[in-house]
Structure 1
Amino acid sequence: MSSDNNPQEPEVPDALLPPGFLRNPVHLLAFGFGSGAAARAPGTWGSLAAIPVWFCFSWLPPVAYWVVVLAAFVVGIWLCGKTAEDLKVHDHGGIVWDEFVGMWIALGLFPDTVYGVLLAFALFRLFDVVKPWPISWLDRYMPGGLGIMVDDVVAGFMALASLFAIDRWLMPVIV
């Protein structure tokens, strides 16, 4: 049963966090180093905050890069699940670790220009906000930390596929 219908499970509104909440390292990571605590558009701020972190490991060889992203996904299932459990809200808007991982997937082609990074950001946000199928289905029916993570992972892969298509088929026509 969702927390919306369970009177025994009080919810913390997205704008309110318990005092000292972000002092807990698990919550700090789940909230994207605090970027998810933004009053408006925490997912967008979390996606933006993911970019400087991406720069720290974007230089890795592709296999190592994807191992880091996979590890962030697996750890994120626990981080997001634990934070949601502590807040008693399934997918609190401030939980943005899923946006971090989704952005890192979207940036997986290693764009070498600011425009490439901005396009990856724009496409990821588009898929994350619009939630075309199967993202909408996954967002609605996947439980726990996995449910919090998986819709953004799929949005990241859809953005990555779009970037690949643009790079492979559209750019040669334009240039």
Structure 2
Amino acid sequence: MAEKLTPWRLLCAGFGAGFSPKAPGTAGSLVGLALGALLLSLGHLALLFGIVLASALGVHAIKQLPGDTATRDPGWIVIDEIAGQMIPLLALYHVTPGGLALSFALFRLFDILKPGPVKWADARHDAWGIMLDDLIAGALAWAIVLALHLVSPL
């Protein structure tokens, strides 16, 4: 039986992106990229506020899900990808196609491969673990985007 669609479930699913039949994590990341680009166009403070808000709402929303959903990290939960995908955009001066593409590719790479601290956070099996692995993946992508941006504008 399908679970009831509550506001918390809808938020966790990235307003539907997580219900994508193929690659829901990528769909959620694309939502995060678009939202992050919009916020970056308003300024870095707006983007930072968006990341903090998505992260806090994400943890709270995941905790509102029924049963063991928050410990299983089902693929339809993509609020974590949305928050994490916005982080590397903080390294950009402004929105550019190259900067967006690099931020997206690096975030997805770290989210999928789960190196070191990303894997540690993913192993937590709680609301914070669900969010933290993607926030850390975003931070790793941010560090690389920042380093590359300092060498050559993106």
TM superposition score normalised by structure 1 = 0.77
Matched, 1:18 2:8: no
Superposed displacement of residue 122, structure 1: 0.3
CA distance in 1, matches of 2:46, 2:111: 26
- Please tell me whether Structure 1 or Structure 2 has the larger radius of gyration of its CA atoms: 1
Mapped pair 1:135 → 2:122: no
2:26 to 44, 58, 63: 44
Q: Following TM superposition, by how much is the alpha carbon of 1:29 offset from its aligned partner in structure 2, in angstroms?
A: 1.1
Does structure 1 conserve the Cα–Cα contact (< 8 Å) formed by 2:71 and 2:125?
Answer: no
Task: Name the amino acid aligned to 1:44.
Answer: T
Contact residue 102 and residue 155 of structure 1 kept, 8 A:
yes
Q: Residues 7-62 of structure 1: CA distance to partner in whole angstroms, max 9, x if unpaired?
A: xxxxxxxxxx715x33x211111001111111221101110122222233223332
Question: Aligned AA for 2:122?
Answer: D
* Equivalent position of 1:93 in the other structure: 75
Q: Does 1:167 pair with 2:149?
A: yes
After superposing on structure 2, the runs of 4+ consecutive aligned residues of structure 1 that deviate more than 3 Å are 84-89
Number of residue pairs the alignment of both structures matches: 152
Matched residue, 2:95: 112
Distance 1:132 1:83 in 2: 28
* Farther-moved stretch of structure 1 (29-38 vs 71-80): 71-80
CA distance in 1, matches of 2:98, 2:45: 24
Query: By how many angstroms is 1:86 displaced?
Result: 6.9
Q: Aligned equivalents of 2:70 and 2:150: distance in 1? A: 45
Aligned to 2:11: 29
Residues in 1 aligned to 2:66 and 2:145: alpha-carbon distance in whole angstroms:
32
